[in-house]
Structure 1
């Protein structure tokens, strides 16, 4: 069954040597200004034998930042920092796309460079707390974006995509999942707008389609991916969805003519919806089925439900994951205490099988 993973394939302009890719993983190890470092370059280069790497969520603007010391891709300093990462990955014969993540309301003024109130489709306060430099704090009510500001945010994504390519990335992935800004526009809970971006499904998907169109027009559809998480409760900050079976097929139908490189689905267990989206999507489908073992995920490729699978915490803990799986070697266990923030510990010091044996 695992043999299905090792067949070459493509994702738009990317030629992939196999079908096991690295999922985006927030690690909070950029500089306070959001600039990637040599340590980040080492981390990603260690994992370059994945089919391709999807980086941690990277803010396309100051308004897009939600967490401390996450990277940005909207200044010359950001571009220079990411160039260190992409050069290191390419030197190791890898492929890397930068995930563009605007968190919307899942933020706090203390975590942004300008200290401003978070923005969102509507002024709906998220439940829960977020971590800041001074400790956990309640997330405030966000400010609703004006219609003109929505258009400006689309342009932020376009410029960030151009910056990612200038930094040497092989493409970008637009983060439309996990309760962040694009996802907030999709949900009737977080989107209570009365303009052309709210109300009907056609209006609520408009922002996501406009962002994808702008990015594809800027850098090419073959270098543009999009991530969604239909019905997935992870990290939603109390965001709810009531019409996933109607909304997501309509979203996919609207995106299909763009001929994007891939659609990345964070699966929540609704196999009927997954099969529907698979049937509607015309190009590469990337699937993240968290909490399942590699053989189960490989079955999705064997059955044609996915073209590529992504792995998160196992890639984090096993820099040589591809070789371990191919050889049947035991896997390192991820240490959640070192997932976020810090230095090399739990980041670049996980042993390879050769070293550990």
Structure 2
């Protein structure tokens, strides 16, 4: 099965130490927080059926996780994936055990047309960011830069520490920069990595800055951290880290802003404030998708509302890493995705439909 879905599962069954999140001194009075919100969810939202039909053809991408999206020039959308299965697909909906498996890929959508983008060749596909000799890269949040000419993807480097199934660890953060027209990898640049924070959860432009949301992943406990850089170039040296009361150039001064976030989540503008969407990681193998509200990009994020419960969760199946796609909102209706996987790897080969993203339309309304 995908190592991405298994990341931290062994640690999740261990008891976590009692760790606190400092209160953030920031603006806390806005309508987004004062309002009591209710959520109505509609499953199987677009582009779920489009991706499913494409997967069933077996002519390219047939399933993956992560599921970030970036709007590209020319009306294109780049779907950003980590562990990826390619075709073919058997007539009975299974996949051969010899099917190619890559650690990262793109699917580019233009209208109702989809195209799989990988490295290598058609006969010998490889990951877009080639794996190092002792590990691999998983993709995180992404955005465009250089007036849309570049597609920038945070890439997490993992390294093997032995020959066992769990003998590997997160090693460092990188920025993979691609040409947004040809999808050619242009550079792979190290990003700050000294504070045990995976700076790959979400990217949000706001007020002349790009806010970078990271996760301190302790297995049984996961904590959000916030950094920022002026402009849109994450390779700039001038990263600043939220300390709970201000900004510091010292990565080690970064504080925990919220417990219980997933490694992949989102923070987007909502009403006159911000909406954080995440899977609930305070519960083991949770089915709950939550929305938190804040008045500032640094939070505090409060008043959680259950947006959805994933029906696939249970038995061998798990769901994880839900987040919003703000470029694909329909008015005030959110588009939220989440990933589905199985704890039994044979099931992923027996049924191609399991390991594909799900999409939910979520309408938030003020409670009456």
**What's the TM-score once normalised by structure 2's chain length?**
0.30
Write 1 or 2 for the structure with the bigger share of strand.
2
Which of the two has greater helix per residue? 1
Q: TM-score, normalised by structure 1?
A: 0.31
